[in-house]
């Protein structure tokens, strides 16, 4: 009986491993999107990947993408053609880049997502959604004052963010990223948040 040639199986095995490795990033991005969509809700939250790093912000970016899908803006909040939904970022450049690379150019409810980085002095109202990073604690009141009366969905990751006037705040629940919703602030800005999104939110005790 001919003995199997184990050496012949090695290239095939290595090739399979290489294919798995090459596709791992795509698989993880799809998994993140599915989780944020609520397709795999578990305890209505999901694990981060390695703490406060690019992966955590990819998770948050996936949430931002789905906020764009599950929040309804008044028609006047968009430009004349209404084809773009601008997500503004006021955050650390490295973290902002991770968000941009994850969601820029994606489509939400027929609108193309455009990620824009804001600098001090820029008009934060020139977008439909604004993400305020943890670096902006001292400027938060100033940012919120400039947005007063607008229909910008303001998302943050700061302590007591919603209590200070924010609408959606990312919080850590152990090793998981979750979010709280200030529905009163959203309604005051004429924003309608889907009941599906409200069900996924962590109670904020408001």
169: left (phi over 0), alpha (psi -120 to 50) or beta: beta
Per-residue model confidence as pLDDT tens digits over 68-114: 999 999 999 997 788 999 999 999 988 899 899 999 999 999 999 99
Q: What is the rounded distance in angstroms from the CA atom of residue 131 to the CA atom of residue 169?
A: 9
For CA atoms 94, 96, 97, 101, the dihedral sign is positive
Q: What is the rounded distance in angstroms from the CA atom of residue 165 to the CA atom of residue 144?
A: 7
The domain spans of the chain are 10-200
* More confidently predicted of 176 and 151: 151
Interacting residues of 133 by C-beta distance below 8 A, sequence separation 6+: 89, 90, 91, 92, 95, 96, 156, 157
CATH superfamily of 10-200: Response regulator (3.40.50.2300)
Q: What is the rounded distance in angstroms from the CA atom of residue 41 to the CA atom of residue 197?
A: 12
Of 187, 62, 201, 72, nearest to 128 by C-alpha is 72
Tokens of 131: 């993400």
Tokens of 182: 């200030």
| 58 and 113 Cβ atoms separated by less than 8 Å | no
| 98 and 54 Cβ atoms separated by less than 8 Å | yes
Most confident of 2-6, 108-112, 119-123: 108-112
* CB-CB neighbours of 123 under 10 Å: 11
Per-residue model confidence as pLDDT tens digits over 164-190: 999 999 999 888 899 999 999 999 999
């Amino acid at each position: 009986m001919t003995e199997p040639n184990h050496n012949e199986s090695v290239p095939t095995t290595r090739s399979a491993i290489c294919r798995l490795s090459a596709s791992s990033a795509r698989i993880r991005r799809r998994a993140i999107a599915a989780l944020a969509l609520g397709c795999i809700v578990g305890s209505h939250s999901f694990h981060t990947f390695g703490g406060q790093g690019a992966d955590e912000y990819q998770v948050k970016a996936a949430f931002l993408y789905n906020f764009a899908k599950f929040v309804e803006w008044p028609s006047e909040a968009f430009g004349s053609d209404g084809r773009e939904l601008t997500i503004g970022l006021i955050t650390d450049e490295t973290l902002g880049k991770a968000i941009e690379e994850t969601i820029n150019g994606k489509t939400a409810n027929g609108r193309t997502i455009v990620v824009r980085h804001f600098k001090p002095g820029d008009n934060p109202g020139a977008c439909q959604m604004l993400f305020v990073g943890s670096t902006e604690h001292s400027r938060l009141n100033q940012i919120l004052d400039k947005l007063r009366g607008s229909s910008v969905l303001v998302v943050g990751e700061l302590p007591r963010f919603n209590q200070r006037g924010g609408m959606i705040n990312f919080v850590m629940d152990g090793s998981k990223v979750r979010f709280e919703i200030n529905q009163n602030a959203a309604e005051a800005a004429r924003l309608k948040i889907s009941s599906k999104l409200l069900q996924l939110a962590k109670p904020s005790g408001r």
